[in-house]
Structure 1
């Protein structure tokens, strides 16, 4: 649950980010893409990664670190070169939202009934109930099998990300008529690492990595297999470095290199997948088998290289404590609301 200090920090962060992005828009409308624009962005690029450290609550620190220290940085770098999702002709509130959150404009050609990224009400309720159930069993984690607990951690992360971004999508639609970029597309159906990382998991990240890293590297190396492989490896390496930063926001400990190793390994395997897929005549496993193997590989390597930096520092206990507090707050708020409704109905009867 958010403490009073973090509530004040949240208000200060919102004001600071709005001011910073307003400055970015002002500068970008007056300077051409290139080094002068990039130089003018440097103060904002320098301060954005520091802003999340204003929060004491881990969830706020990590979420804002992902939004500001990663996505916003990449968007501003793209804007400095005249590319990316930011458009200085947008109204200021829309520009600030797109710059600082994983938000995209809804195309005018989209109809009101067009599918929107995000979760439906029923799906959100089911996911929230499942997350609350997971949190409720954590007090008994000492008696759990280690691998069962790791599976619960993985499911916890996925559900929490889905729900946070679904809530943000609903808020963006209500306030500014915007949709959040879709973050997930049923990643549990992935039949390859390329499908998982490129088309199903945390989708705003690969979209930015393609523009910021893969394409420039590929253009420099040249076309063909070597260029594609270099672009993929570079994107995974940068992703690993950025995950080191996100985990730092969680643990507040120096990077260990394990997340970078995780993504370097996955990048190499993704390149190998691409090489194998290029041989059309080679046998392929059934999709169900490929999906099981892919998910098993992701979980096994994640337990090996992603989870230890978190559990080693006791950060998992902080996550559990904050999650339990949030679940208790929601439960108490629901009980209060139900009691208020009953009281009102009784008073009118």
Structure 2
């Protein structure tokens, strides 16, 4: 833990310095090749930083934020597009570049009280409880049927990302007054693949792929080509992320997974544009989730399970859950001591 905290501090400092340089350099250059040349050293540095972590989770999450999201935001900045802009205050620029943060329009700023509403807190408390239960039940995974294993792994990934990003959102909101870009919107209710990938699952990814890949390709080759290109780039970037997990060259399975889904999304759009009939909502949701889990079992999870690193990932989760339990216990004891001290002081 101590070594990972030191690595986190070093990576955070290096990232902040690199983003400060990018802001300074791009503020003095016109969009296009001059800006691109200025940010190339930063783009070369970002892929190196995640290797500072030995933890699979920290290495992969930092790669997702820096190697994918941050790099794409810098490329958009070089082209003169948002969400980054040299006029942003330095702290906002660094945060928006290195984290999935969007600057809030004060006129549209949501009420912060919603984040502490009982329903909101209970929702995430329930998700945390389910995640802890999944980690504890992981020892029974080998005895599960194949379809249950995929559902189990999918729920594990979903809850892990949801909880991590909710915690980061609370920190960003408190320190910067900024919101994290939405990550999930109940993906288990998706009624089509387009609904699942475009509006419900991992929404930070389509937020950067639309302006950087989909729209330029669509303008030249049409909507179907734009969809195919966006899914292909997503597949290639997932191959990069999987490299940070298994530390081995990609096999192409993850790219194939996204290529298949891209072709199916394009086919869905073609069918809907021609007024083709659609199944009832419940049936559509069941079919969508079955297709995602089936192809995920076949292609998406294969590199991790084949390498055996799924066991290491679970061990890290168990350690994190144990650490949080101890921290909660210590906080509870400290709070009880404070209450007891105040009670005794008031009685005097």
Task: Identify the TM-score tier after normalising by the shorter chain.
Answer: over 0.9
**Structure 1 residues 19, 214: CA separation in 2 closer, same or farther (over 3 Å shift)?**
same
Displacement of 1:149? 2.7
CA contact (8 A) 1:117 1:180 kept: no
For residues 160 and 44 of structure 1, the distance between their equivalents in structure 2, rounded to whole angstroms, comes to 29
**Structure 1 residues 278, 7: CA separation in 2 closer, same or farther (over 3 Å shift)?**
same
Displacement of 1:7? 0.9
1:247 aligns with 2:245: no
Displacement of 1:279? 1.3
For residues 194 and 277 of structure 1, the distance between their equivalents in structure 2, rounded to whole angstroms, comes to 11
Q: Which segment drifts farther, 134-143 or 237-246?
A: 134-143
CA contact (8 A) 2:150 2:296 kept: no
Residue matched to 2:294:
300
Residue matched to 1:120:
120
For residues 314 and 342 of structure 1, the distance between their equivalents in structure 2, rounded to whole angstroms, comes to 43
The structure with the greater share of residues assigned to helix is: 2
1:90 aligns with 2:62: no
Q: 2:277 aligns with which of 274, 283, 297?
A: 283
1:209 aligns with 2:209: yes
CA contact (8 A) 2:26 2:35 kept: yes
**Structure 1 residues 111, 44: CA separation in 2 closer, same or farther (over 3 Å shift)?**
closer
Displacement of 1:49? 1.4
Residue matched to 2:180:
180
Displacement of 1:220? 2.3
CA contact (8 A) 1:117 1:181 kept: no
Displacement of 1:114? 7.7
Aligned pairs for 1:222-233 (under 5 A) are 227-233=222-228
Residue matched to 1:11:
9
Give the gaps of 5 or more residues in structure 2.
none
For residues 239 and 271 of structure 2, the distance between their equivalents in structure 1, rounded to whole angstroms, comes to 30
CA contact (8 A) 2:31 2:78 kept: yes
Q: Which segment drifts farther, 40-49 or 118-127?
A: 118-127
For residues 48 and 87 of structure 1, the distance between their equivalents in structure 2, rounded to whole angstroms, comes to 19
1:211-267 superposed Cα distances (whole Å, 9 cap, x missing partner):
11111112222xxxxx11110000000000000011111111111100000000000
For residues 338 and 175 of structure 1, the distance between their equivalents in structure 2, rounded to whole angstroms, comes to 24
Residue matched to 2:20:
22
Residue matched to 1:224:
none
CA contact (8 A) 2:147 2:294 kept: no
- Determine helix, strand or coil for the equivalent of 1:120: helix
For residues 142 and 261 of structure 2, the distance between their equivalents in structure 1, rounded to whole angstroms, comes to 31
For residues 112 and 332 of structure 2, the distance between their equivalents in structure 1, rounded to whole angstroms, comes to 35
For residues 333 and 264 of structure 2, the distance between their equivalents in structure 1, rounded to whole angstroms, comes to 55
Displacement of 1:138? 1.4
CA contact (8 A) 1:75 1:86 kept: yes
Displacement of 1:148? 2.2
Q: How many correspondences in the alignment?
A: 341
